[in-house]
Structure 1
Amino acid sequence: MTTTPTDRKYAASHEWLTQDGTVGISDHAQEQLGDVVYVELPEVGREVKAGEAVAVVESVKTASDIYAPASGTITAVNDELSGSPEKVNESPYEGGWLFKLDVTEEGDLLDAAAYEAQAN
């Protein structure tokens, strides 16, 4: 397991959010999912509420909803995941990001230490 980056906030449901609105899932989440084989991303321009299911990650084990860690508008999606969903496993905090939000209000988020404590 990699170290949980401290430059972002985390939802109890294992999504992370950076200051620029980038969203992905934690290393803990991708480990629990196993090998990711498909990612269904939200539409750019969609308005979402914190806690709303906005994407789906499918693995060899299961399919899991991905929840918005904040309210706002989807401004971009990681199109590279359509051809390379394994990036979610290989680089959950960098190349495996899912989408970007223009954040209007953060949800109930944790810092890295609090997230690690509840995830383990």
Structure 2
Amino acid sequence: MKAADGIGWLFLALAIALELSGTVSMKMSEGFTRLWPSVAMFASYGAAFTFLNYALRYMDMSIAYATWSGIGIVLITLAGVRLFGERLPLSSIMWMTIIVIGVIGLNMSSKAH
């Protein structure tokens, strides 16, 4: 992996973490009835898209977006379970596993070309 590739992945990791923060803040804003979680949501999403934009300088859009979405889905689901007591049925775990396999497959197929 070249240094530039590492920078792209770093930007993508920051985008994913900030998207997680934004979505948790959205839940905590209770429909924009709480000021600071609402402010945190907008700031987090703005920063997440900024870092995703930077990541796209260094990596293919299909890889960046699929990874961002797939890892985001898994992290948001785990945050919902851990922070908000949401249920996670076995079928949801199965479908998330399929998403993760798809993201891994997409990454592997792009490296093959």
TM-score for both structures, normalised by structure 2: 0.26
TM-score for both structures, normalised by structure 1: 0.25
Larger gyration radius, structure 1 or structure 2:
2
Higher relative contact order structure (alpha carbons within 8 Å, sequence separation ≥ 6): 1
Name the structure with the higher helix share: 2
Name the structure with the higher strand share: 1
